[in-house]
């Protein structure tokens, strides 16, 4: 199930019924019946979700959190009015979902995995962990959160071992996810996989460079179309300007500019 760049070109819109909702404080894990999407998606991709009610023009980009059989799960943080509506949806609601979109994590030749996430950026790492475990690849994860309230997100994950840090020290180790890495025994050959805020990704890229490690990061960005047409999510990289939605959202750590 390595990432297939052509998948974004074959992305389709589909109606997906919510069949289960789990809540972790204000965060919601929405499980949708979506067999076609489940077959097509690869770790690191995302979907564009229409907010029900007719009051919101633009879809919201949301990472695929996990896939099991015919179900696709989305982990939603109520950041604004649109995502607040999505996070409050009940079982039985039907969502218009377009995807899968973007390029996922390259997994060929990975012999060990280090998963690093920050805040809601942790969302796509469960799908990745499931895929790596299915391939027999050993892994460990380090997640960073602002405080105990945001750390409730960790309850949505089944990753072992999973180490947690909070900036205020209320849960786990005090500090950031990147600072936490210095306290862990990480295999020398581990490939780094990350998703989180820009400062975290920049700090992780510097950490990987010092260690001589390679890896990939899934970037967060505001997106209007999700397909590269509007050029609203362009970022500078060491190989030129790239669109997060269509050229990414996954990029090699070495290409990202601090």
| pLDDT tens string 75-87 | 999 999 999 999 9
pTM over cut 0.85: yes
- Does the pLDDT value for residue 122 go beyond 90? yes
pLDDT given for residue 247 in this prediction: 83
What's the CATH number for 113-255? 3.40.50.80
| pLDDT tens string 200-228 | 999 999 999 999 999 999 987 776 677 66
Give percent above pLDDT 90 in the chain: 78
**What is the pLDDT of the chain when averaged over all its residues?**
91
Q: Do domains 5-101 and 113-255 have the same CATH topology?
A: no
Nearest residue to 63 (alpha-carbon basis) of 55, 54, 72: 72
**Superfamily of domain 5-101, CATH level 4:** Translation factors (2.40.30.10)
Domain map (residue ranges) of the chain: 5-101, 113-255
Residue 26 neighbours by CB under 8 Å, 6+ apart: 77, 78, 87
Among 10-24, 94-108, 231-245, whose mean pLDDT is lowest?
231-245
Nearest residue to 242 (alpha-carbon basis) of 118, 128, 120, 103: 103
Q: Using 50, 70 and 90 to split pLDDT, how confident is the model at 236?
A: confident
- Does the pLDDT value for residue 251 go beyond 60? yes
| pLDDT tens string 27-55 | 999 999 999 999 999 999 999 999 998 88
Q: Reply yes or no: is the peptide bond before residue 100 cis, omega within 30 of 0.
A: yes
120: phi > 0 → left, psi -120 to 50 → alpha, else beta; which? Answer: alpha
């Amino acid at each position: 199930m390595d990432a297939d760049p052509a998948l974004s070109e074959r992305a389709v819109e589909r109606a997906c019924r919510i069949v289960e909702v789990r809540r972790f404080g204000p965060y919601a894990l929405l499980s949708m019946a979506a067999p076609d999407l489940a077959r097509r998606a690869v770790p690191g991709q995302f979907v564009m979700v229409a907010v029900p009610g007719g009051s919101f023009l633009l879809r919201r980009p949301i990472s695929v959190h996990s896939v099991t059989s015919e179900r696709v799960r989305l982990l939603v943080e109520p950041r604004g009015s649109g995502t607040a509506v999505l996070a409050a949806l009940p079982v039985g609601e039907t969502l218009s979902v377009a995807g899968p979109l973007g390029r996922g994590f390259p997994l060929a030749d990975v012999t060990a995995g280090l998963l690093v996430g920050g805040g809601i950026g942790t969302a796509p790492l469960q799908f990745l962990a499931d895929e790596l475990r299915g391939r027999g690849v050993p892994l460990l994860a380090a997640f960073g959160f602002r405080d105990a309230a945001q750390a409730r997100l960790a309850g949505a994950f089944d990753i072992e071992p999973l180490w947690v840090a909070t900036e205020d020290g209320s849960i786990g180790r005090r500090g950031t996810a990147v600072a936490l890495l210095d306290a862990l025994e990480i295999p020398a050959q581990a490939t780094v996989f990350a998703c989180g805020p820009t400062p975290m990704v920049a700090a992780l890229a510097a950490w990987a460079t010092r260690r001589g490690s390679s890896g990939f990061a899934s970037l967060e960005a505001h997106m209007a179309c999700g397909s590269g047409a509007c050029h609203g999510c362009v970022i500078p990289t060491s190989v030129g300007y790239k669109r997060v939605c269509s050229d990414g959202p996954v990029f090699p750590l070495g290409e990202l500019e601090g």
